Amino acid sequence: KSIDDLGDLSGKRVLIRCDFNVPLDGETITDDGRIRAALPTLRKLREGNARIVIMAHLGRPKGSVNPKFSLAPVAARLSELLGTEVRLAGDVVGDSATATVEALSDGEVALLENVRYEPAEESKDEAERVGLAKKYAAFGDVFVSDGFGVVHRKQASVYDVAKLLPNAAGYLVAKEVDVLNRLVGEPERPFVVVLGGAKVADKLSVIDNLLQVADTLVIGGGMLFTFLKAQGHDIGSSLLDEDNVETCKSYLEQAAAAGKQIILPTDIRVADGADFDNRTVKGAVDVVAADAIPAGKQGLDIGPDSEMLFADAIRGAKTVFWNGPMGVFEIAELAKGTAAVAKALTEVDGLSVVGGGDSAAAVRVLGHADDEFGHISTGGGASLEFLEGKELPGIAVLEGSN
């Protein structure tokens, strides 16, 4: 069900869950993509003269009030983007929230403070969550789910509250589900999946599932070294997930048996290490063959030949999904692989999808505009779980989702 099926919302209180979990440098939002992604739904509700009450989280304050995680920067940015004041409540469900919601006129917007200030929000105890969800529900006549990045969480403001009010998916959730369904449904072929990021363990189920539907898997990022190890190569002091070497080996075998390709880099940029806090490389950056990483050297990005190899595979595809940086892209010298992949995605003659979190931030930091890609998902974990074929509680709970 979409918000267009909710009927006339004029004068009604629309309680909406958004994902405004944006990266911050102090109080400065460094990528406002998730806020901008919520605008179509919010604008439509405003045009319809609804009274809008937004629930959102920021970071992981773990159930206690902490000004470091206040939604104040989000309220300010959203006010600018909507061109109207967004009133930030001083609490989540207390007196300030109640007064802020009561004071709303038609077409006005309120934002509750970080829902994760409330210990019950993320509780494993359903009764506790429902207790909080009832307080949220008292602020709305209908509920709209538009925080795609958080629909994989069974939390009070995402899941339990949906059971208490007439509900619908917002435009963002509807669009995300539509695009991701095209990937796992009948993608135009060749379908190439590019995976990066540090931890192979985080990507195992997604590799498992995508090996069934994709034609080619391209592997970069810290996780590639566990694959190189599985092929029997020395990886120096590069990141290794010892426990998953055998699993990676079985993926390589499965792919070969099914006539699919797993593309790994042929060369690697190595150094003595990386200082993440100061964003600097330790020692000089050298390019070495992927099957001959010297002892003591750490692989930190894919090399120039691999950039071309990966870009060719991407450009030749009709459908591409990319999640996870190819190297330590926060450090300029080690952002080349990620930049090459991002650029190749902009050149795809077909559907190119960037999957959430770091990759979405990376393409913007690298200077790309959102409309150079088919779709930039706002979901990190959520888009991966969708592609793993898991049921997402925040979507399954919505009316008409089955």
User: Does the footprint of ligand 3PG cover residue 153 (CB under 6 A)?
Assistant: yes
User: Does the footprint of ligand 3PG cover residue 145 (CB under 6 A)?
Assistant: no
Instruction: Tell me how far, at minimum, the Cβ of 247 lies from ligand 3PG, in Å.
Output: 24
Residue 46 marked in a binding site: no
Strand partners, 24: 29
Q: Strand, helix or coil at 45?
A: helix
Residue 384 one-letter amino acid: L
As a whole number of angstroms, the distance between CA 260 and CA 262 comes to 7
Residue 116 marked in a binding site: yes
Count of residues in contact with ligand 3PG, rule CB under 6 A: 9
Residue (29 or 211) nearer to ligand 3PG, CB: 29
User: Does the footprint of ligand 3PG cover residue 380 (CB under 6 A)?
Assistant: yes
Active-site annotation holds for 134: no
Residue 135 token pair: 């307080």
Contact between 322 and 353 (Cβ < 8 Å): yes
Residue 189 marked in a binding site: no
Residue (153 or 375) nearer to ligand 3PG, CB: 153
User: Does the footprint of ligand 3PG cover residue 282 (CB under 6 A)?
Assistant: no
Active-site annotation holds for 324: no
As a whole number of angstroms, the distance between CA 192 and CA 190 comes to 6
User: Does the footprint of ligand 3PG cover residue 60 (CB under 6 A)?
Assistant: yes
Active-site annotation holds for 129: no
Active-site annotation holds for 154: no
Q: Determine which one of 199, 260, 315, 364 is catalytic.
A: 199
Which strands make up the sheet holding 267-271, listed edge to edge?
286-289, 267-271, 298-302
Residue 51 marked in a binding site: no
Residues 150, 173, 179, 360: which binds ligand 3PG (CB under 6 A)?
A: 150
Q: Determine which one of 12, 13, 34, 175 is catalytic.
A: 34
Cβ atoms within 10 A of the Cβ of 341, count? 32
Residue (73 or 357) nearer to ligand 3PG, CB: 357
Residue 357 marked in a binding site: yes
Residue 203 marked in a binding site: yes
- Helical segments of 39-170, H only: 39-47, 72-82, 95-102, 126-137
Strand partners, 111: 54, 88
Cα distances from 150 to residues 26, 37, 76, 204, 273, in angstroms, run: 23, 14, 22, 20, 34
Torsions phi, psi for 342 (to 5 deg): -60, -45
Contact between 23 and 29 (Cβ < 8 Å): yes
Cβ atoms within 10 A of the Cβ of 237, count? 16
User: Does the footprint of ligand 3PG cover residue 323 (CB under 6 A)?
Assistant: no
Task: Find tokens 């069934």 and name the residue.
Answer: 212
Among the listed residues 108, 169, 165, 168, the one whose alpha carbon sits nearest the alpha carbon of residue 141 = 165
Residue (48 or 357) nearer to ligand 3PG, CB: 357
User: Does the footprint of ligand 3PG cover residue 325 (CB under 6 A)?
Assistant: no
Residue (337 or 355) nearer to ligand 3PG, CB: 355
Residues 48, 73, 149, 265: which binds ligand 3PG (CB under 6 A)?
A: 149
Length reported for the chain: 402
Span 329-358, contacts to ligand 3PG by CB under 6 A: 357
Residues 3, 13, 17, 19: which binds ligand 3PG (CB under 6 A)?
A: 19
Residue (58 or 309) nearer to ligand 3PG, CB: 58
As a whole number of angstroms, the distance between CA 47 and CA 300 comes to 49
Residue 375 marked in a binding site: no
As a whole number of angstroms, the distance between CA 375 and CA 373 comes to 5
Q: Summarize the annotated binding site for (2R)-3-phosphoglycerate as residue ranges.
A: 34, 116, 153
* Binding stretches for ligand 3PG (CB under 6 A): 19, 21, 60, 149-150, 153, 357, 380-381
Which residues are known to be catalytic? Answer: 34, 199, 357, 381
Q: Summarize the annotated binding site for substrate as residue ranges.
A: 19-21, 34, 57-60, 116, 153
